[in-house]
Structure 1
Amino acid sequence: MKNFIFSICIALVLSSCYQVERNCKDFQVGTFEFTYEINGETKTGKSVRTDTLSVDYYENKIDTFTIRWVNDCEFIGRKLHPKDYSDSKPIQMKILSTTEDSYLLEYSLLEDPSTKKRGTVKKIK
């Protein structure tokens, strides 16, 4: 029993020392490629982001968002020209982890955790 408790304590100590890599500043500006799913079909889109704007290209559509960085790893996006009220709701985006050329993103409508989703975004420029 003592060995079991000791093993659990060692595992907790070692796992608490592990930090996920987050070099978010490397992904604040650039050209990105992302995949998304609609009706069970996986599609690819592209996003070009500056400090304050993001232009997204997907399904032969173009959407422009104003963006405001909350911290190095999180920003709020708002459509520049929404078509209706639901289209005007801001989107919260958080970079959870990074690799050399991609990041894991968690996003949802601001203040609506029931819409939370995750995806991987790859930096292409």
Structure 2
Amino acid sequence: MASLKVVCALFMCMVVAAPLITEAALTCPQIQAGLAPCLGYLQRGGVPAGGCCPGIKRLVGSATTTADRQNACKCLKTVAGAVKGINPGYAAALPSLCGVKIPYKISASTNCNSVK
């Protein structure tokens, strides 16, 4: 329980810092920050929190190159494996709930190197 609180606190710090990052490459910390408001939905379902879909939309809009999309895919897989209790079905449904298209299936079996 304490480790989840630490992860959430770290995510919230990244959410605050993410808008200050203006580098061209999309980084895993930026992706984690964008996903932080989605954590409750990813674990329990229901309705995504207010900041979740705007964060997802920002991330999708920021992934403008193949390298960005592959990096995002790899990061999503890493985060999904590191954070306990993420429901794969909720993760797969999130892009549709937020009205965005992601050019790959959010799944542990996705080959991120094939993402274009």
TM-score computed with the length of structure 1 as normaliser: 0.28
Greater C-alpha radius of gyration: 1
Determine which structure has greater relative contact order: mean sequence separation of CA pairs < 8 Å that are 6+ residues apart, divided by chain length.
2
Compare the two structures and name the one with the higher helix fraction.
Answer: 2
Of Structure 1 and Structure 2, the greater strand share is in: 1
